[in-house]
Amino acid sequence: MPGLAPSTDAPQVLLLEDDPAIARTICYALQREGIAVTHSLLIADARQQWASRSFDALLMDVGLPDGNGLDWCRELRSGGSIAPVLVLSARGEEMDKILGLELGADDYLTKPFSPRELLARMRALLRRSRQFQPAAQSPPAQALQIDEQGQRALIHSQTLDLTRREFQLLQCLSRSAGRILSREHLLEQIWGLHSESTDRTVDTHIKTLRAKLRECLPDQELITTHRGLGYSLSLPE
């Protein structure tokens, strides 16, 4: 339904109402306050809209041409939906309101109603909805960072003073963190197939690398020696 264009981050409300005049009034009242409204005349269409995109709230009539709005409200709650639902109905008896709330509605507004009251109730529902939504969590920054282009390693943003071989060794271990890498594998990956270096070379570089890691993290042993097997790296906390 045409109306004032809301901003892209506006709350999204699905309106299920089969009376065009009431729907126009509701859309105008909400859209002028920056709330985006998608209007459906039938439950079948509202189901499709609800499944195809994300809404912040549902505003629904009870008596509809293809069913009872409260039946769909109950289905939504059974399916785990926590989106706030405001029911509009001409049935204003106490038991009607109680039934609507027990079937999953968050609020119940009797027709006829004033647009100002509708807007106030919708604002309250949207505030509660956004207040209790879990905030999106950013993935924690890794304590160990390998800058391959810059040929440097950092722990908690502190640059390690590593030689080229030490950096390559830490890089190789970090790519397979938690796995045991044999001395032969490390020799091949870092010094090459035709190098005259020996297992002792790996052990020596592991020793100096381990000492530099301890300087940054004295309470954590990142490199573990597995006798007869090789070495593994545990990522720092």
Q: Which CATH number fits the domain that encloses residue 149? A: 1.10.10.10
Per-residue burial over 80-104, b if 16 or more Cβ lie within 10 Å, else e, is eeebbbbbbbeeeeeebbebbeebb
End-to-end CA distance of the chain: 53
Q: Which of 132, 155, 177 is the last residue of a domain?
A: 132
57-71, 119-133, 211-225 — which is least confidently predicted? 119-133
Give domain status of residue 5, yes or no. Answer: no
Give the tokens for residue 82: 């926590």
pLDDT of residue 196: 78
Mode of pairing for the β-strands spanning 107-110 and 36-40: unpaired
Q: Is the pTM of this model over 0.75?
A: no
DSSP state at residue 188: I
Same domain, 172 and 221: yes
Residues 93 and 127 in one domain: yes
Same domain, 63 and 122: yes
Q: Which one has a higher pLDDT value, 147 or 128?
A: 147
Residue 142 has pLDDT above 80, yes or no: no
pLDDT in tens, 45-55: 999 999 998 89
> Packing angle between helix 164-175 and helix 199-216, nearest 10 degrees?
80
Residue 190: per-residue pLDDT: 87
In this structure, what token pair is assigned to residue 204?
């020596």
**End residue of a domain, out of 99, 132, 165:** 132
For residue 225, what pLDDT is reported? 93
Q: Tokens in use for 17?
A: 């109402």
pLDDT-derived band at 6 (thresholds 50, 70, 90) equals very low
Distance CA 33, CA 203 (A): 69
Q: Residue 156 gets which letter from DSSP? A: T
User: Which residues lie closer than 8 Å to 14 by C-beta, 6 or more apart?
Assistant: 37, 38, 40, 46, 49, 50, 55, 57, 58, 59
Burial of 181 (0-12, 13-18, 19+ CB in 10 A): buried
Task: Flag the least confident range among 30-39, 113-122, 129-138.
Answer: 129-138
> Residue 6 domain-assigned?
no
User: Mean pLDDT across the chain, nearest whole number?
Assistant: 86
Nearest Cα neighbor of 83 from 63, 59, 99 is: 59
Return the pLDDT at 2: 41
CA angle, residues 131, 133, 139, in degrees to nearest 5 = 125
State residue 141's pLDDT score.
52
Structurally, the chain folds into a number of domains equal to 2
